[in-house]
Amino acid sequence: MHTPICDLFGIEYPIFAFSHCRDVVAAVSRAGGLGVLGAVGFSAEQLDIELSWIDEHVDGMPYGVDTVMPAKSVDTGGGGDDPDDLAARIRTMIPSEHWEYVDELMDRFDIPPLPDDVEPHGVVGWAEGVARAHVEIALAHPIALLANALGSPPPDVVDQAHDHGVKVAALAGKAQHAERHVNNGVDVIVAQGHEAGGHTGEVTTMVLVPEVVDACEGTPVLAAGGIGRGRQVAAAMSLGAQGAWTGSLWLASAESNSGPETIDRYLAATSSDTVRTRCFTGKPARALRNTWTEAWEDPSGPGPLGMPLQNILTAEANARINRTHRSDLGFVPVGQIVGSMNKVKSVRDLMFEMVEEYIETVERMHSGMTAPT
Ligand SMILES: Cc1cc2nc3c(=O)[nH]c(=O)nc-3n(C[C@H](O)[C@H](O)[C@H](O)COP(=O)(O)O)c2cc1C
């Protein structure tokens, strides 16, 4: 399974794992892949704590950090805002019709209000000011990779990472995005297809990966979206990728911080149970379909707003829903590979099984293409 990207990062397997959970990140890197911590949900202070923990638990193996800097954001160029001030500013941009719809949904689903001492916080990690603070913190730790979703990082951030000896990756949902990333100095392209969990585009992994590989000759490409087992890693490599960038798979691992109800939902879901919806963040993101996602598709409602307004609009509602543990309403982002996530396994076992199945697949292909047993 060794490809040139393994040498670039000093890793055994070209398996990259995006996770918001530090235990998963450290376990993947210790198991020979490269764990990448998603920063978007953390304050800058909390990110520092998470990274210090990883530094102590990763046994010196390389790991990365993923920020979310959209190419366009309400605060682009206005970096440095306090997250609470920014959220307050965003609230003023939300039409009253949307506030009324959220109130109506809270009544319709009979969701109790928050206790007085609980403050809802929307995720503002994708606002430029907050994401830049994440970059500063990340570069103060011994990271090997800085990845960015929703666009190339700004040129000065790419330069800053390179000055620290850190490689830069960016997610691409179209070949044109990938070309732009290469022109902006990005070192690794993550070609992420429609099947993926979280924010995702319209082009499927099978179609996207060869297009991206051809569009950015010479720049390593990782395939993402719908990869959870060795046969899929082999397919990604045959499409020209140097490895796989995975996310959903680890959500139901033993190390994951997903709650027990959420884990049960992953284990029960089929690959048909997800939907690409703007109702959580304002940009299309894949999650389990439920009553909440359907309420935002209802043509009699106002429909979702853009990023970051939708998240701030629904921050309190989501906090209220989360307290009820109502799985028919909460946000459960995951990709179509959820249909194969049928048992809780350790990160080490998932990695071992993926490598084993990859080797069997490659041997089978060399020896006459019989069906897998
Ligand atoms: C729960 C969840 C949250 C995600 N959040 C982010 C994120 O904050 N930044 C990012 O670059 N990618 C994010 N992604 C996308 C992953 O980086 C990755 O591209 C994707 O999970 C790959 O497809 P898969 O889910 O089929 O493995 C997220 C994915 C999931 C499942």
DSSP string, 63-126: EEEEEE--SS-TTTT-TT--HHHHHHHHHTTS-HHHHHHHHHHHHHTTPPPPPTT-------TT
Say which residue, 175 or 88, is predicted with more confidence. Answer: 175
**Contact between 277 and 258 (Cβ < 8 Å):** no
369: Cβ–Cβ under 8 A, 6 or more apart, which residues? Answer: none
Ligand 1: centre distance to CA 202 (Å) = 15
For residue 370, pLDDT over 80 is answered with no
SS3 content of the chain, % helix, strand, coil (to 5): 45, 15, 40
For residue 326, pLDDT over 60 is answered with yes
State which ligand 1 atom lies nearest to the alpha carbon of 171.
11
pLDDT for 71 equals 63
Say which residue, 142 or 40, is predicted with more confidence. Answer: 142
Q: How confident is the model at residue 69 (pLDDT cuts 50, 70, 90)?
A: confident
State which ligand 1 atom lies nearest to the alpha carbon of 67.
9
CB within 6 Å of ligand 1 — which residues?
A: 18, 38, 40, 66, 68, 147, 149, 171, 192, 195-198, 224-227, 245-249, 333-335, 337
Where does 4-74+124-257+345-367 sit in CATH, by number?
3.20.20.70
Q: Can you give the pTM of this predicted structure?
A: 0.93
Ligand 1: centre distance to CA 198 (Å) = 5
Ligand 1: residue of 16, 18, 189 to mutate (most ligand atoms within 8 A of CB) is 18
Domain positions in the chain: 4-74+124-257+345-367, 83-123+260-324
* Nearest-CA residue for atom 13 of ligand 1: 198
pLDDT tens digit sequence for 246-299: 999 999 999 999 999 899 999 999 999 999 999 998 999 999 999 999 999 999
CA distance 25 to 221: 21
State which ligand 1 atom lies nearest to the alpha carbon of 38.
8
Average pLDDT for the chain = 92
